[in-house]
A and B are shown apart, each in its own frame.
Chain A
Amino acid sequence: MRETRLMQLQYATALLALVLVGLHLLMQGVLVPYGVAVSFQQLLLTYRNWVDGSLLEILLIVVLAHGFNGARTILVEWKQGKRWTSLANWGCLALALISIAYGTRTVILAVFGSAS
């Protein structure tokens, strides 16, 4: 992907993340008291409500895409060179995908796994 497209992706994910992180923070202590929000029962309800669960999954993808694209930008600014740029691009993409997969696994197990 061209650098201009990647920066546009960075701005789009930034704006989306602003809304989603804002909502996430509001749910953790403002709209729902903090102690309640992090309780096991409330979290189970949150994950299994399809709107809240979906928002968490979208938040995960958006924040990691933004974060790793930002890290890639810093790495490419830090040092120049074909090999380094390629390493930064592919390394950040791989780490983003692994992190998204691990976070998604939590969401899937929270929704479909049997509680103990």
Chain B
Amino acid sequence: MEDAGEMKAKARAANKRGVMGWLNPIHYNLERWAYVFQRVTGVVILLYVLGHIGDTSFFVGGPLGTGPSQASWAFMSSIVENVVGHLILVLVATVVVFHGMNGIRLILSEYGLIFEKPSRIEYPYRAKGLRAIQRHMIWAAIILAIVAALWSGSILFG
């Protein structure tokens, strides 16, 4: 019989890929890609939001500021208002739209609203629980994200 330490080591080995497990794209279907991108875009957005909170604080003079400061804001604008800064904004608009639209799909499926009834598993073993509407919603999220990229690009670079 295995002791607790051995069982723990086995469990750790089974999960050894950790977060890399969902970054390995081999044999992924569309839903799995959507799962990965939901997490990757979530992390990207959170990092952007933290940076955005930092840069907007320069409106009031930065971490040591005491009130709205035109000089401090002009300094921050000179750093972020350029081609690289605008490209980052286009990327953020794109991932925000994908994350939001795919998020709606996830909420609807979590509450069982866009799921097929479970049925007996038969060859060729396609995931029957996933209705066509789920795939349509993923494609809609991708298309809307591309539209957001083009639209925000035209605003920032047009």
Contacts and interface: CB of A to CB of B under 8 A. Distances in A.
Q: Are A and B associated in one complex?
A: yes
Interface of A: 7, 11, 14-15, 17-18, 21-22, 25, 29-30, 34, 38, 40, 43-44, 47, 60, 63-64, 67-68, 70-71, 74, 78-80, 99, 102-103, 105-106, 109-110, 112-116
B68 A67 contact: no
- Chain B: interface secondary structure? helix
A74 B19 contact: yes
A106 B57 contact: yes
B50 A99 contact: yes
B67 A29 contact: no
Given A34-B155, A74-B42, A113 B73 contact: no
Contact of B53 (A11, A30, A60): A60
B73 A67 contact: no
Contact of A79 (B18, B39, B67, B100): B18
A78 to B, nearest CB: 5
B53 A29 contact: no
17 contacts: A11-B110, A14-B100, A14-B107, A18-B100, A21-B100, A44-B68, A47-B59, A47-B68, A67-B42, A71-B42, A74-B39, A74-B42, A78-B19, A105-B60, A106-B53, A109-B65, A110-B59
